[in-house]
Amino acid sequence: MNPWESNVLLPAVYGLYAAVSIGLTVWLARVLGSNGALFLRDVFPEKDELARAVNKLLVVGFYLVNLGWSALQLKGGRASTLQEAIETLSTKLGTLLLTLAVMHFANLLVFQRIRSRTRSRNQLAPFRPDTWVNPYAQQSGYVQTASAAAPSAGV
């Protein structure tokens, strides 16, 4: 039987695809995990445990979605010849990479929106104040009094 016929190369394509997709997913998850932690520490100040927990949950979700999608993409394609095998492999990997890119940027967008909503409080005012008043003037009923006299020092 000619090894270059009847999709004989398909298992090899599958194996290569599985190895590359798993490796890519793990690497991307590590990048997301380590850099996402910085975003989350900003979102949850003084709550490191919560930031770490949310980060781990997001990474788990990332693994599930991407490995699941990679597994679904595995099936199919033609690999009767070496050329067909390479084309099938590149099509599968290309689709996977584009999907991972979309997911990656979607995650960044979500992080950024969460962060910008949190940072909007206690932000620096974009415009300089026109004047300053005693902060207690905004409490109703407060009337500013003159300075109290200091005790005289032996006149």
Minimum distance, C-beta of residue 129 to another protein, in the bound complex (Å): 4
What is the binding site for another protein (CB under 8 A)? 117, 120-144, 147, 149-150, 152-153, 155
The size of the chain, in residues, is 155
Closer by beta carbon to another protein, 2 or else 140: 140
Closer by beta carbon to another protein, 3 or else 126: 126
Minimum distance, C-beta of residue 114 to another protein, in the bound complex (Å): 13
Closer by beta carbon to another protein, 1 or else 148: 148
Alpha-carbon radius of gyration of the chain: 30
Residue with tokens 């595995």: 74
What is the secondary structure of 8-54 as a DSSP string? Answer: TTHHHHHHHHHHHHHHHHHHHHHHHHHHHHHHHHHHSTT-HHHHHHH
Minimum distance, C-beta of residue 145 to another protein, in the bound complex (Å): 12
